[in-house]
């Protein structure tokens, strides 16, 4: 897959050590990983898009890996628009859309699902507690969805878990000061 590109959009509310690990691992597999923050139409976000994108940009800058690129111009709340934006900017046709196993069932309801599956292959990252069930695999095959299931191991943390337990150890080190200084995510309740 060294000649292909990974597109990793995320709500990143906030970016966690899980996001960091995903980005690091994708950089070992793909020629380039393009990441951005978007508003998920099915979620209520704690922080504004501009704050979340600044956090992800900071994380990616700290990774200092030329194969991991932050590009907010790709962002749209609709996957098809992000895919089109990415292809236009990078002139890459071999594109894998990175998605967590917790969201894979949702793709069948996505706006322009029929167009999305013609444009990309899905790279599914398994999340603890969210196996890809046989019924989902059958639907993927029925709709002729191109996909690969990743062997990447990521920490069992999510943005929503972070917001509920307020533990700084689940944040990348490069983001802690910014979160504290700006009192994000009710940071006064966070534990060291």
- Which H or E element spans position 175? helix 173-181
Q: What tens digit of pLDDT does each residue of 31-62 get?
A: 999 999 999 888 889 999 999 999 999 999 99
d(CA 56, CA 19): 9
pLDDT range class, residue 2, cuts 50, 70, 90: low
Within a domain: 182: no
- Asked whether the bond before 14 is cis by omega within 30 degrees of 0, the reply is yes
148: domain CATH number?
Answer: 3.40.50.620
Average pLDDT, the chain: 93
Within a domain: 54: yes
Instruction: Tally the domains of the chain.
Output: 1
Contacts (Cβ under 8 Å, ≥6 apart) of 14: 47, 52, 55, 159, 162, 171, 175, 179, 184, 185
Structure tokens at 13: 């509310």
Within a domain: 178: no
Within a domain: 21: yes
Within a domain: 168: no
Domain that holds residue 92: 5-157
Within a domain: 176: no
Within a domain: 120: yes
pLDDT range class, residue 151, cuts 50, 70, 90: very high
Beta bridge partners of 32: 5
User: What are the two backbone dihedrals, phi and then psi, of residue 190, each rounded to the nearest 5 degrees?
Assistant: -70, 145
Asked if 28 and 61 touch (Cβ cutoff 8 Å), the reply is no
Answer yes or no: is pLDDT of 187 > 60: no
Report the share of the chain in percent with pLDDT over 70.
95
Q: What tens digit of pLDDT does each residue of 86-133 get?
A: 999 998 888 999 999 999 999 999 999 999 999 999 999 999 999 999
Measured torsion, CA atoms of residues 158, 164, 170, 175, in degrees rounded to the nearest 10: 100
pTM metric for this prediction? 0.93
User: What are the two backbone dihedrals, phi and then psi, of residue 124, each rounded to the nearest 5 degrees?
Assistant: -95, 120
């Amino acid at each position: 897959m060294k000649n292909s590109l990974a597109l990793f959009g995320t709500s990143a509310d906030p970016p966690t050590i899980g996001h960091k690990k995903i980005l690091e691992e994708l950089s070992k597999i793909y020629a380039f990983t393009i990441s951005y923050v978007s508003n998920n139409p099915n979620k209520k976000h704690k922080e504004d898009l501009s704050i979340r994108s600044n956090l992800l940009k900071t994380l990616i800058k700290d990774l200092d890996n030329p194969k991991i690129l932050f590009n907010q111009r790709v962002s749209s709340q609709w996957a098809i628009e992000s895919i089109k934006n990415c292809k236009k900017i990078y002139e890459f046709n071999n594109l894998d859309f990175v998605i967590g196993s917790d969201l894979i069932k949702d793709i069948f309801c996505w706006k322009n699902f029929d167009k999305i599956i013609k444009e990309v292959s899905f790279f599914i990252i398994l999340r603890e507690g969210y196996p890809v069930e046989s019924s989902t695999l059958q639907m993927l095959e029925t709709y002729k969805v191109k996909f690969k299931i990743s062997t990447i191991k990521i920490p069992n943390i999510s943005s929503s878990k972070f917001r509920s337990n307020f533990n700084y150890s689940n944040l990348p080190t490069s983001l802690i000061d910014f979160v504290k200084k700006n009192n994000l995510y009710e940071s006064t309740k966070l534990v060291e």
